Amino acid sequence: MIAARFPLPARRAAETFVLPFGGQGQSFHVTVGYYPNGDVGEIFISGAKAGSDVEAVARDGAVLISLAIQYGVPLETIRHALTREQDGLPSTIIGAVVEQLTGVDK
């Protein structure tokens, strides 16, 4: 059985914020698009050095999270599935973005 995708409307609310992650003062720009009910529906991540492998992985990760959300996977489920450091902090910018959106401090 294939799950139904819930695409976002063409016009939607969105917000952009800067999220520091990684060494050397690195920051990423994150844009989040919302469904009319206020639920997260899509994520875009840019930053690091333009054209770098890190930026490409961040962009692709955001696409995958967006598709998962649009197919009904809760952000909390995604958060629990992502890699963490020994201290419990996210290992990647993808994990840091998901934590920011779920309101988790650790």
Q: Which range, of 26-35, 46-55, 66-75, 90-99, averages the lowest pLDDT? A: 46-55
User: Looking up tokens 């955001």, which residue turns up?
Assistant: 62
Instruction: Specify the long-range contacts of residues 90-94, CB closer than 8 Å, at least 24 apart.
Output: 92/57, 92/61, 93/19, 93/21, 93/22, 93/28, 93/45, 93/47, 93/54, 93/58, 93/61, 94/45, 94/58, 94/61, 94/62, 94/65
8 Å CB contact between 94 and 83: no
- Residue 96 binned pLDDT confidence (cut-offs 50, 70, 90): very high
Helix (H, G, I), strand (E, B) or coil at 81: helix
pTM, entire model: 0.88
Q: Is the pLDDT of residue 30 over 80?
A: yes
Asked whether the predicted pLDDT for residue 69 surpasses 70, the reply is yes
